């Protein structure tokens, strides 16, 4: 829908979304790191400690979200100038970010509860509520972006208002139904926050590397966006369009990664290391085969999706080249995603994952992309191709780690009964 408003608006909303992208991965790092604990604790049905882990994760997520609210509400222009020097892009993006930023706290609460619910096998409720919130967001976006049914025509800011409303409703419904149905994470505040520094230290020792991992990786991805933006507005618009389309495929594999983490974590917590290894291996095969099939499918339908965008022919040309590269390497990215989210974290191997995922992007991907853009003056799609070099390195080392079985650690043994 935003694509109907032109390349400048697409670029502005895409770059403003990078602020949320950083928050999203911080919350995901905290939540998924905590979920690896709760998945293993659920394997031995240790509900009291699950409540404490939830409370610790929620406290950290709320602190992190408030820092990003401050950036979005007080320093949006400063934040966006890191990515672009285009005054129109900065003006549109700042206005969008000020409205969008109010949703960050609600997102932090919803994401934390959702990850913990999934880790104990309660998958249906988050899925149903997410589908409802997404549908509401789509409908409201259409009405407010284009001013339908007598509502004001807000343009890009209409998308931000729609996200805010849907996130508030999503958070309210998810937390309410968790307690109405008395699901495992439905703890009283005293049960959630009844932990001491010793407990927090034991939990945070493997959890913090996950959060640091996500921060380092997300900053690397954000650096890629800075590089694309300095190549030109048309180029960064093309990257944002291509990313939006390819993410249709990525979300399916994030689901597989999360499902793998639940199964593997439950097995390790129950002391069943060999079945955990088998489940993890099957998921890697699904990632490889599925990545090839879905990558081809996305490439075949992409021309029809691109017809919906009202942007210049040069933006479309860049986007097609970017999509060809992205879809060709989708299998590789998805295997890595499953390795890090579904296997290493579920096995408590977070320090190794931090070294491999958090640092390789800075040692390989970012330097090569910068050289390609600023030294070799390559077109944006070849610069994007250079960023995939980090995926190749992570894939090779990650497979070695998987077959070594050194990633399996029973975290329930370090949490007091």
Confidence of residue 165 (pLDDT cuts 50, 70, 90): very high
Using CA atoms, how far residue 54 sits from 25, 27, 187, 198, 234, in Å, is 18, 13, 9, 16, 43
Output the pLDDT for position 37.
Answer: 81
Give the C-alpha separation, 237 to 5, whole Å.
Answer: 12
Query: 220-245: per-residue pLDDT in tens?
Result: 988 998 898 888 888 888 988 898 88
Beta-carbon contacts of residue 65 (< 8 Å; ≥ 6 apart)? 23, 27, 104, 105, 107, 108
Query: 69-125: per-residue pLDDT in tens?
Result: 999 999 999 989 888 788 898 999 999 999 999 999 999 999 999 999 988 889 899
Q: What mean pLDDT do residues 307-321 have? A: 88
Confidence of residue 129 (pLDDT cuts 50, 70, 90): very high
Give the C-alpha separation, 93 to 359, whole Å.
Answer: 30
Confidence of residue 416 (pLDDT cuts 50, 70, 90): low
Using CA atoms, how far residue 346 sits from 103, 158, 161, 203, 382, in Å, is 29, 39, 36, 14, 35
Which burial class, exposed, middle or buried, applies to 404 when counting CB atoms under 10 A from its CB (0-12, 13-18, 19+)?
exposed
Confidence of residue 178 (pLDDT cuts 50, 70, 90): very high
Nearest CA to 233 out of 30, 2, 15 is that of 15
Give the C-alpha separation, 323 to 339, whole Å.
Answer: 23
Give the C-alpha separation, 232 to 270, whole Å.
Answer: 53
| pLDDT of 39 over the 70 cut | yes
Confidence of residue 219 (pLDDT cuts 50, 70, 90): confident
Count of Cβ atoms closer than 10 Å to residue 313 Cβ: 7
Q: Mean pLDDT in the chain?
A: 89
Percent of the chain scoring above 70 in pLDDT: 99
Confidence of residue 29 (pLDDT cuts 50, 70, 90): confident
Output the pLDDT for position 82.
Answer: 83
Q: Which two tokens stand for residue 85?
A: 């020097």
Output the pLDDT for position 417.
Answer: 57
Output the pLDDT for position 348.
Answer: 85
More confident call, 24 vs 177? 177
Output the pLDDT for position 159.
Answer: 94
Q: What mean pLDDT do residues 378-399 have? A: 93
Nearest CA to 346 out of 298, 417, 279 is that of 279
Give the C-alpha separation, 262 to 36, whole Å.
Answer: 8
Confidence of residue 415 (pLDDT cuts 50, 70, 90): low
Output the pLDDT for position 199.
Answer: 83
Output the pLDDT for position 398.
Answer: 93
């Amino acid at each position: 829908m935003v694509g109907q408003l032109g390349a400048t608006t697409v670029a502005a909303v895409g770059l403003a979304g990078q602020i949320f992208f950083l928050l999203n991965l911080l919350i995901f790092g905290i939540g998924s790191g905590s979920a690896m604990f709760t998945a293993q604790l659920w394997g031995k049905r240790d509900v009291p400690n699950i409540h404490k882990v939830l409370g610790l994760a929620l406290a950290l997520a709320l602190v992190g979200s408030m820092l990003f609210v401050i950036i979005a509400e007080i320093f949006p222009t400063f934040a966006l100038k890191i990515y672009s020097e285009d005054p129109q892009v900065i003006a549109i993006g700042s206005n969008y970010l000020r409205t969008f930023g109010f949703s960050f706290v609600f997102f932090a609460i919803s994401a934390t509860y959702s990850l913990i619910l999934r880790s104990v096998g309660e998958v249906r409720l988050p899925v149903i509520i997410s589908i409802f919130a997404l549908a509401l967001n789509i409908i409201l976006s259409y009405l407010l972006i284009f001013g339908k049914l007598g509502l004001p025509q807000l343009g890009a800011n209409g998308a931000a208002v729609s996200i805010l409303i849907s996130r508030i409703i999503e958070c309210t419904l998810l937390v309410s139904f968790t307690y109405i149905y008395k699901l495992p994470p439905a703890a009283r505040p005293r049960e959630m926050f009844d932990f001491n520094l010793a407990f927090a230290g034991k939990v945070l020792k493997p959890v913090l590397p996950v959060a640091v991992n996500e921060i380092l990786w997300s900053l690397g991805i954000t650096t890629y966006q800075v590089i694309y933006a300095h190549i030109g507005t048309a180029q960064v618009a093309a990257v944002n369009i291509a990313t939006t389309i390819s993410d249709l495929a990525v979300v399916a594999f994030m689901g597989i990664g999360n499902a793998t983490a639940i199964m593997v974590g439950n097995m390790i917590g129950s002391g069943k290391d060999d079945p955990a290894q088998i489940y993890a291996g099957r998921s890697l095969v699904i990632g490889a085969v599925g990545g090839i099939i879905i990558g081809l499918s996305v490439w075949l339908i992409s021309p029809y999706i691109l017809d919906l965008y009202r942007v210049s022919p040069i933006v479309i040309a860049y986007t097609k080249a970017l999509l060809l590269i992205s879809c060709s390497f989708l299998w590789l990215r998805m295997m890595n995603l499953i390795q890090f989210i579904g296997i290493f974290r579920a096995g408590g191997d977070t320090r190794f994952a931090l070294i491999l995922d958090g640092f390789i992007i800075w040692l390989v991907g970012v330097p090569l992309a910068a050289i390609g853009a600023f030294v070799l003056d390559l077109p944006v799609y070849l610069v994007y191709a250079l960023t995939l070099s980090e995926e190749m390195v992570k894939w090779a080392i990650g497979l070695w780690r998987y077959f070594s079985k050194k990633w399996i650690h029973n975290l329930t043994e370090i949490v007091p009964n």
